[in-house]
Amino acid sequence: MRGKLLAVTALAVGSALSLVGGATAAGAAGGGAASTVTIRAQGTDLSGTVKSPAPQRCAAERNVIVFKQIGSKGGGDDINFASDIAQANGNGYEWNTGNTGTPGKFYAKVRAIQGCQGDTSPTVRARRS
């Protein structure tokens, strides 16, 4: 009986350690260096920056997605409107959609990637000049 008890205890401890290790790995995947995405509108030209304390890994060549806000931000009805890749430009990493010709409310988003957190910018209003 004592042998079975030890085997069950060892199995339980091993399972618990496995769960803790899995939780730690999952937590690490969601962490990483902070990333910040900005957006500005000049008429209907949308542009911004991507910044991070780990710029080579988390800002350079980062995919930026621009959403047209329909109702409340992130309410499920926003439109994936445009995208660009952040490129080095002397003062950091910049992205630009060019002149979209579309007025409205927009925000930019970078998704989390391995080792880098995601971010969503505040909303800006683009107006035709």
Q: What is the DSSP string of 33-80?
A: B--EE--EEETTEEEEEEE-SSHHHHTTT-EEEEEEE-SSTTSS--EE
Residue in this structure with the two tokens 């990333």, named with its chain if needed: 35
Cβ 109 vs Cβ 38: under 8 Å = no
The per-residue pLDDT for 19 is: 36
This model's pTM is above 0.85: no
Amino acid 104: pLDDT? 97
pLDDT at 31: 77
> What Cα–Cα distance (Å) separates residue 41 from each residue in 21, 30, 104?
45, 31, 10
Classify residue 12 as exposed, middle or buried by CB count within 10 Å of its CB (0-12, 13-18, 19+): exposed
By the 8 A CB rule, do 109 and 83 touch?
no
Tens of pLDDT, residues 47-99: 999 999 999 999 999 999 999 999 888 888 999 999 999 999 887 899 999 99
pLDDT above 90 as % of the chain: 67
Query: Does residue 12 surpass a pLDDT of 70?
Result: no
- Residue 30 is predicted with a pLDDT of 54
